[in-house]
Amino acid sequence: MNNKLTNEQIVLESLQKVVNNGEILDNKLFIKEIDLIVTTEIVSIKTEKDFVMAELIFSINNGEFNDVFIESTAGIGKSEEEALKQCSVNFALSCLLTFIDSMNNRYSETFETHFFESKKWNLTKSDLQCMGDSIKTNITDFWEIFGGKLKKRLGNKKYNWVKIFICKTSDNNYICECRINGTLNLEITNDLRNLAESIDFSGNFISLKQFFIIKQSDETYKKVPYSKDDIINFSNKAIEIIANCDSKEKFDNILKDISKITNDENLAFELKIFIPEILCELIFSEGKYIDKIMFINNDRNIEVYKNQFTSYYNIYESVSENLYNRKITKESIKKIICLSATYDAIEKVLKENKQLSNFRAIGVGMRISDKYRPF
């Protein structure tokens, strides 16, 4: 009888030991009391002269998540098994235990924001993980530096996860990223580059990583009635409606026609405004775009961010899939992007024979009704 563990079993058993919880079934770790499922995929295992390096992808899912959490983690050891176990430990300490703490209501702090109405939040932070050589710059918590900007990106979701990462080498090269719910946030990533420039350390390299789980309180959370797949399906149909808009009557009825599909006028409005903007950015990808949107309501300007909308990145996925798989004709693309608020500015740049790579959007302004509330 062969009792040798597979690589996946080594990883999951290692995770199970670190979190001191869970049951392994069908190559998944189930933590039943908080309905959490962890899966893993081995990307690569490389044997070098003096060590073995493993790279794994982990995913965490729960019924209350809008999206599956996915994280890539590396580990180094003297053997294949040691490298795989190191991956498990790195992932558990940085991500998994932070999720478990959040779902067991163990918080670092609570705070409130406003996104058309008051929102209450509970923050759980991982420790700041430092790898490499001795760091001389005093950095103990990325939340103290970026918490203000991150709060502005919170919308209606129950769970939000944030990853902040800096890696810098002695020759002053660095990799930086801030991901909010898996999506790279360019503004905060640029801030990280400025911070990385100022970091002083001795040796060959330094890396800093920290995770935040930000959970909305049940006092203010309102469950979204549609899943990610539902929104993508609505978006696919809305693209067809907008693409077939070949008369003033059809143009005037876009919102009404999309509402017939969604049975929700707020979601229909977001589909109507986001589809043209997203397609415009994808077509003219050389331009530089920001994640800020300005809603105009009577005499009020309401500043919001793309991350705040539950629907935005689901719609983005639908539009990009339709575009890259050539499900939208050239004629339809022209019709749709002409409805984009950004297109007028881009067209002006092109008419002046300027380089689109120099185009920098200052944000999108859109009028909203008094009744509108983000989906």
pLDDT tens for each residue of 118-147? 999 999 999 998 877 677 677 889 999 999
The enclosing domain of 22 has a CATH number of 3.30.160
The reply to whether 215 and 274 lie within a common domain is: no
Is there a domain that residue 53 lies in?
yes
**Residues 243, 359 within the same domain:** yes
List the Cα angle 259/262/266 in 5-degree steps: 65
Coil vs helix vs strand at 264? coil
Query: Which of 170, 195, 223 finishes a domain?
Result: 223
Residues 342 and 298 in one domain: yes
Amino acid making up residue 295: F
Q: Does 249 map to a domain?
A: yes
247 in a domain, yes or no? yes
> Same domain, yes or no, for 99 and 117?
no
Residue that finishes a domain, picked among 65, 86, 106: 106
Q: Which domain holds residue 9?
A: 1-106
- Position 374 in a domain: no
97 within a domain of the structure (yes/no)? yes
Q: Are residues 152 and 280 in the same domain?
A: no
Q: Tens digit of pLDDT for each residue in 44-55?
A: 999 988 899 999
What pLDDT shows up at residue 133? 66
Nearest Cα to 157, choosing from 184, 121, 186? 121
Cα–Cα distance between 27 and 109 in angstroms, integer?
A: 35
Residues of the chain with pLDDT under 70: 1-3, 133, 136, 362
- What CA–CA distance (Å, rounded) separates 55 from 45? 6
Please indicate, yes or no, if residue 207 is contained in any of the structural domains: yes
Q: Is there a single domain that holds both residue 291 and residue 181?
A: no
From residue 130, give the alpha-carbon distance in Å to each of 70, 78, 138, 344. 21, 21, 12, 46
For residue 375, being part of any structural domain is answered with: no
Domain presence at residue 358: yes
End-to-end CA distance of the chain: 56
Angle among Cα 167, 173, 175 to the nearest 5 degrees reads 40
267 with 342, same domain?
yes
Same domain membership, residue 259 and residue 173? no
**For the chain, how many structural domains are there in total?**
3
| Paired tokens of 203 | 């040796």
Predicted local distance difference test score (pLDDT) of residue 1: 41
Instruction: State the Cα–Cα distance between residues 327 and 323, nearest whole angstrom.
Output: 6
Write down which residue in 156, 191, 223 finishes a domain.
Answer: 223
Which CA distances in Å does 59 have to 55, 73, 95, 294? 14, 11, 10, 34
Q: Do 82 and 205 lie in a common domain?
A: no
Task: State whether 94 and 117 are in the same domain.
Answer: no
Is residue 237 located within the same domain as residue 268?
A: yes
Are the C-beta atoms of residues 209 and 98 closer than 8 Å to each other? no
Q: Are residues 233 and 339 in the same domain?
A: yes
